[in-house]
């Protein structure tokens, strides 16, 4: 008997009809002789609606209270889906993150999982139940609810799969798998049969909305067999797995754009040791994630420092940095929310030269100006104007021929997915 963890996103459980369809899918998995743990997101636009409601009563709601509010969306989904399973005669029980044994740190709205005690889940599985867990949440040391950030239900599912030593973690969404680019932007984007953990991690951090980056990190660290697939059709999805040698033949695996970025620039910063450390220490203390950083060449001992943050963190970043402007004797602080980050990703970059030139040349041909650049072994990211992001993605997708499947080497065979035995 295999153990599957299945995660269903908000669009997959958007209404009663969707709930019934998902319940049937779970029942089919159970009838095949498998144990099933299900993780659910909030229904449809519930989370966004709750955020909007909160901001109607307070422009900057208390983070603890926001966590208490937002967690209710996933709780409602888990209870309703459990009722749908009962209607099919399936023995099932719903659990909150706390009941599922998920312990997190004390950072509200961006909590990280510290420990999972799956004792209660194992108990109910042994009783023949499908266990439906509310994603996106856990309990901190103060016994308060803390949420995992946007997309956190993916992380819940993968972390539970690791703790339970599940045979596979299936992320079921309204897409067929992982594509070379967003199909809504690039109509001829191609579904990938497989992608490495590292490539998926880079794409997720670059703005791909298919998986949360922390979920991929969990999968890689704990060897979780991860599959992204459609919740609406029963067909193979995209397998996320370890790198193999033949993957180097593919230079670029995918392209992503992140429009949820803003650029902050500290103007006229004294170019002296310790100033950058002071700035980013304060940002770290406020749990603000900084992505790209650029410091201009110093002129007369003065420089500009630019960095990117999520748009949702603009107000918090301003509160943190504005008091520093006078302290470090900077000339001023500017914010630019009208930017996007576009990234190309592929493990083949390790062994192929000229990729950066090709990317920059394509953008130059389209008269798209590059404002910031960041690179790693398998990723190149640029900051451009937000309104040019879709054109940049389509142009790069065509330039790297990502719509054409790569030729597979006849000399190698794909190794079977690694499974873990449960003791």
Q: What is the pLDDT of residues 345-367, one digit of tens each?
A: 998 888 888 999 999 999 999 99
How sure is the predictor about 8, in pLDDT bands with cuts at 50, 70 and 90?
A: very high
Q: Is the pLDDT of residue 411 over 60?
A: no
Domain 256-399 in CATH 3.40.50.1110:
no
Strands (DSSP E) found in 209-360: 226-230, 238-241, 254-270, 293-295, 302-310, 332-345
Contact present, 176 and 230 (Cβ < 8 Å): yes
Kindly list the domain boundaries of the chain, sorted by start residue: 3-174, 256-399
102-104, strands of its sheet edge to edge:
113-116, 102-104, 137-139, 145-147
Confidence of residue 325 (pLDDT cuts 50, 70, 90): very high
- Give mean pLDDT, residues 49-72: 96
Residue position matching structure tokens 């995918």: 254
8 Å CB contact between 259 and 393: no
344: nearest Cα among 253, 246, 222: 253
- What pLDDT was estimated at residue 414? 47
The confidence score (pLDDT) of residue 421 equals 41
Q: What's the pLDDT band for 192 if we cut at 50, 70, 90?
A: very high
Q: Does the pTM of the predicted model rise above 0.85?
A: no
Q: What is the mean pLDDT of residues 380-386?
A: 97
Please tell me the CATH code under which domain 3-174 is placed: 3.40.1160.10
pLDDT of residue 50: 96
Local confidence band at 420 (pLDDT 50, 70, 90 cut-offs): very low
pLDDT of residue 244: 57
pLDDT score of 384 more than 60: yes
Distance, in Å, from the CA atom of 72 to the CA atom of 109, rounded to the nearest integer, reads 14
Residue 246 pLDDT level (bands cut at 50, 70, 90): low
């Amino acid at each position: 008997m295999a153990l599957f963890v299945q995660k269903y996103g908000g669009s997959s459980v958007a209404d009663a009809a969707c709930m019934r369809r998902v319940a049937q899918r779970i029942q089919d998995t159970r009838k095949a002789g498998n144990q099933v743990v299900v993780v659910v997101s909030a229904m449809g636009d519930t989370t966004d609606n709750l955020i909007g409601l909160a901001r109607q009563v307070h422009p900057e709601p208390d983070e603890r209270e926001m966590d208490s509010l937002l967690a209710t969306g996933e709780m409602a989904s888990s209870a309703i889906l459990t009722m749908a399973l009962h209607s099919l005669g399936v023995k099932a029980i719903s659990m909150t993150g706390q009941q599922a044994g998920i312990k997190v740190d004390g950072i509200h709205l961006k909590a990280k999982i510290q420990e999972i005690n799956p004792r209660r889940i194992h108990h109910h599985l042994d009783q023949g139940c499908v266990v439906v867990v509310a994603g996106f949440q856990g309990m901190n040391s103060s016994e308060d609810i803390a949420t995992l950030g946007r997309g956190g239900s993916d992380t819940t599912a993968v972390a539970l799969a690791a703790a339970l030593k599940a045979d596979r973690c299936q992320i079921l969404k309204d897409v067929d798998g992982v594509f070379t680019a967003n199909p809504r932007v690039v109509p001829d984007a191609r579904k990938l049969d497989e992608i490495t953990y590292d490539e998926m991690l880079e794409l997720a951090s670059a703005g791909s909305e298919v998986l949360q980056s922390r979920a991929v990190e969990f999968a890689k660290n704990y060897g979780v067999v991860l599959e992204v697939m459609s919740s609406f059709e029963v067909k193979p999805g995209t397998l996320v797995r370890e790198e193999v040698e033949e993957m180097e033949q593919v230079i670029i695996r995918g392209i992503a754009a992140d429009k949820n970025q803003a650029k902050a620039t500290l103007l006229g910063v004294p170019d002296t040791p310790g100033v950058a450390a002071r700035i980013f220490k304060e940002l770290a203390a406020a749990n603000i994630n900084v992505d790209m950083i650029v410091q201009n060449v110093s002129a007369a001992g003065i420089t500009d420092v630019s960095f990117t943050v999520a748009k949702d963190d603009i107000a918090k970043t301003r509160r943190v940095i504005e008091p520093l402007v006078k302290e470090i004797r900077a000339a001023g602080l500017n914010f630019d929310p009208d930017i996007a980050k576009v990234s190309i990703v592929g493990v083949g970059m390790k062994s192929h030269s000229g990729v950066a030139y090709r990317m920059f040349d394509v953008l130059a041909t389209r008269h798209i100006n590059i404002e910031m650049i960041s690179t790693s072994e398998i990723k190149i990211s640029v900051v451009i104007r937000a309104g040019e992001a879709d054109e940049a993605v389509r142009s790069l997708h065509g330039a790297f021929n990502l719509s054409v499947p790569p030729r597979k080497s006849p000399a190698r065979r794909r190794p079977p997915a690694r499974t873990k035995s449960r003791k």
